[in-house]
């Protein structure tokens, strides 16, 4: 796979799997809920690219935006021509560099007219970066649960979006699935679950438990600390499975493929 393709897939993960977690992040942190208050407007994050997915006023871009109504953020996995505020990167490489902690300065469009959107958006992105960049589970139980939720959402959405973007590994995996649900969960925590449904090459990620039937495969954890031990790659999976901290429901061989996809997404999001 070329470096350009790797950058394109990383861009897809950041725009369509990582950034949408700003919605549950704001909902889950009272300080951010208060920060956004009764804010209204549209905020776009984009990267210019010759083969970008969207044409925005004559410029090809990869992009996503938020529709903000009375402080509630609704992610849209598309571009809008006239956002109130936009963070625009000159290339996919710059976007990936920025979101992986490197030095790449974007352009801020609309900052003078809507300075409050600049302050709130950057402030919220910093909170997300700090939480997602954790190398150890947060000591605060609520913070730890929120991080688990965001990572579940990121991973299941990432599988679906990379398949839709044509990533060879994800596309091959999705094509051979008849109609199956793969789920992530924490035992006894109904709000800490997410799944991806796959059927004949098509995928769709959703939050919560899949309720129509038992998932084809479920990777579950006995507690939030156990989930973060695996998600943050600080726990030995074999040891955790033997000790009962990780519970797998379904055929192990399919779980191995599912786990490989999760690791691949994690690599693109780092």
43-83 pLDDT tens trace: 999 999 999 999 999 999 999 999 999 999 999 999 999 99
Residues in the chain: 270
CA distance 95 to 80: 18
* Residue 122: Cβ within 10 Å count: 13
CA distance 46 to 10: 13
DSSP letter at 235 equals S
CA distances from 127 to 6, 73, 94, 95 (A): 26, 15, 20, 18
Model confidence, pTM: 0.95
Query: In this predicted structure, what is the pLDDT of residue 253?
Result: 83
Q: Which two tokens stand for residue 217?
A: 């495969």
146-172 pLDDT tens trace: 999 999 999 999 999 999 999 999 999
Q: How far apart are the first and last CA of the chain?
A: 18
């Amino acid at each position: 796979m070329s470096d350009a393709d790797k950058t394109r897939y990383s861009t897809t993960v950041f725009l369509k799997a990582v950034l949408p977690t700003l919605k549950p992040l704001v909902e889950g942190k009272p300080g951010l809920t208060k920060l956004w208050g009764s804010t209204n407007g549209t905020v776009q994050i984009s990267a210019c690219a010759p083969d970008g997915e969207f044409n925005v006023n004559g410029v090809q871009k990869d992009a996503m935006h938020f529709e903000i109504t009375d402080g509630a953020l609704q992610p849209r996995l598309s571009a809008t021509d006239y956002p109130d505020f936009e963070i625009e990167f000159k290339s996919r490489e710059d976007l990936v560099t920025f979101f992986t902690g490197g030095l790449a300065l974007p352009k801020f469009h609309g900052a003078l007219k809507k300075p409050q959107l600049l302050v709130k958006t950057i402030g919220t992105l910093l909170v997300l970066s700090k939480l997602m960049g954790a190398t150890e589970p947060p000591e605060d139980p609520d913070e730890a649960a929120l991080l688990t939720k965001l990572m579940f959402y990121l991973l299941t959405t990432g599988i679906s979006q990379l398949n839709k973007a044509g990533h060879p590994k994800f596309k091959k995996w999705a094509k051979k699935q008849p109609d199956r649900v793969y789920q992530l969960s924490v035992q006894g925590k109904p709000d800490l679950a997410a799944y991806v449904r796959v059927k004949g090459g098509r995928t769709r990620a959703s939050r919560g438990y899949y309720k129509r039937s038992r998932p084809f495969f479920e990777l579950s954890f006995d507690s939030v600390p156990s989930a973060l031990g695996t998600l943050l790659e600080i726990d030995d999976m074999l040891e955790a499975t033997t000790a009962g901290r990780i519970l797998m429901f379904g055929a192990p061989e399919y779980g191995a493929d599912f786990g490989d996809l999760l690791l691949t997404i994690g690599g693109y999001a780092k």
